[in-house]
């Protein structure tokens, strides 16, 4: 075989190798394997949440709350965490629900308050409502059985216009929440003797406040205790409203952040009822 032919064959072999190399590059055969990165594990913190719906004005007990794992990056500074307050009994001891809390919602310092804490009365008031005290007697509070957080009707007894010894009784407000009997804010064991009771503090709207003030000047006010079933139903309706708002905020949260209701109480304003 002559030399020119060998040169041609060599050049052809080199050209074929180059073509094969280029074809492999175009087809991706030379691309290195891509290994999927494993995301780091999510760091969590134990957050105190409600085990059931909690109604404002009621004492908080350890069985109503529990610890729940929560993404650490989404823990709000107002949340109560196990790292800062490991003892549940100590956290809830002597506390009262300040605003509606739905099951699974984190407990925050703004949602509960200690019963002996300064400003307890203002803290337990529903936004937009007023605390008004009226003079009462033992007979006018069902013999001492009406306690804070009960719901009552307010009855005015006054003399008729024609004078004499004729009197009339009129229910001027219905389903009103009792905030305190004298300075007792809860229905615990350390109660005052009924003989010492002189005032009852009620939660009223501004319009109801004016009506009660006028009524005190025209006669004697008495409290008529309502059934506990009606009280529970009223509390559940307030919590249900808070739950609907909580769920709406949670469903509309597209970026994964935590939504927390603050002072989320819905209450209609009426001059004839406490709801």
Q: How confident is the model at residue 145 (pLDDT cuts 50, 70, 90)?
A: confident
Phi-psi label, residue 51: left if phi above 0, alpha if psi -120 to 50, beta otherwise: alpha
* Domain range 44-122, its CATH number among 3.30.70.330, 3.40.50.1100, 3.90.1210.10, 3.40.50.12240: 3.90.1210.10
> Cα–Cα distance between 219 and 227 in angstroms, integer?
26
Contact (CB, 8 A) for 208 and 26: no
Tens digits of per-residue pLDDT, 160-205?
A: 777 667 888 889 999 998 888 876 655 444 445 444 557 889 999 9
Please check the confidence at residue 214 and state whether its pLDDT lies above 80: yes
Task: Give 134's Cβ-side CA count (13 Å radius).
Answer: 30
Please check the confidence at residue 34 and state whether its pLDDT lies above 50: yes
Q: How confident is the model at residue 227 (pLDDT cuts 50, 70, 90)?
A: confident
**pLDDT above 90 coverage of the chain, percent:** 16
Start-end of H helices in the chain = 3-27, 88-92, 120-124, 206-218, 228-251
> Cα–Cα distance between 98 and 101 in angstroms, integer?
9
Instruction: Round to the nearest angstrom and report the end-to-end CA distance of the chain.
Output: 112
Report the predicted TM-score, pTM, of the whole model to 2 decimal places: 0.49
Beta bridge partners of 151: 177
> Cα–Cα distance between 176 and 154 in angstroms, integer?
8
CATH 3.90.1210.10 range(s) for the chain read: 44-122
Q: How confident is the model at residue 28 (pLDDT cuts 50, 70, 90)?
A: low
> Cα–Cα distance between 213 and 209 in angstroms, integer?
6
Q: How confident is the model at residue 275 (pLDDT cuts 50, 70, 90)?
A: very low
Residue 148 pLDDT: 82
């Amino acid at each position: 075989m002559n030399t020119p032919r060998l040169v041609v064959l060599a050049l052809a072999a080199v050209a074929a190798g180059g073509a094969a190399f280029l074809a492999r590059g175009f087809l991706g055969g030379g691309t290195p394997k891509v290994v999927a990165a494993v995301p780091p594990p999510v760091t969590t913190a134990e957050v105190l949440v409600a085990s059931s719906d909690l109604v404002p004005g009621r004492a908080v007990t350890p069985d109503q709350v529990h610890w729940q794992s929560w993404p650490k990056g989404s823990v709000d500074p107002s949340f109560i965490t196990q790292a800062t307050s490991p003892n549940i009994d100590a956290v809830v001891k002597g506390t009262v629900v300040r605003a509606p809390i739905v099951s699974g919602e984190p407990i925050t310092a703004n949602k509960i308050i200690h019963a002996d804490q300064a400003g307890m009365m203002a803290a337990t008031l529903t936004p937009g409502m007023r605390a008004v005290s009226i003079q009462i007697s033992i007979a006018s509070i069902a013999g001492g059985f009406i306690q804070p957080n009960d719901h009552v009707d307010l009855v005015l007894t006054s003399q008729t216009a024609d004078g004499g010894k004729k009197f009339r009784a009129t229910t001027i407000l219905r389903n009103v929440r009792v905030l305190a009997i004298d300075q007792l804010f809860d229905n615990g064991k350390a109660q005052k003797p009924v003989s010492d009771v002189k005032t009852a503090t009620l939660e009223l709207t501004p319009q109801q406040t004016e009506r009660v003030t006028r009524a005190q000047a025209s006669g004697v006010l008495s409290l008529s205790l309502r059934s506990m079933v009606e009280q529970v139903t009223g509390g559940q309706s307030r919590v249900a409203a808070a739950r609907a708002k909580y769920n709406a905020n949670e469903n509309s949260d597209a970026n994964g952040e935590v939504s927390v209701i603050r002072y989320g109480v819905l209450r209609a304003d009426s001059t004839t009822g406490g709801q």
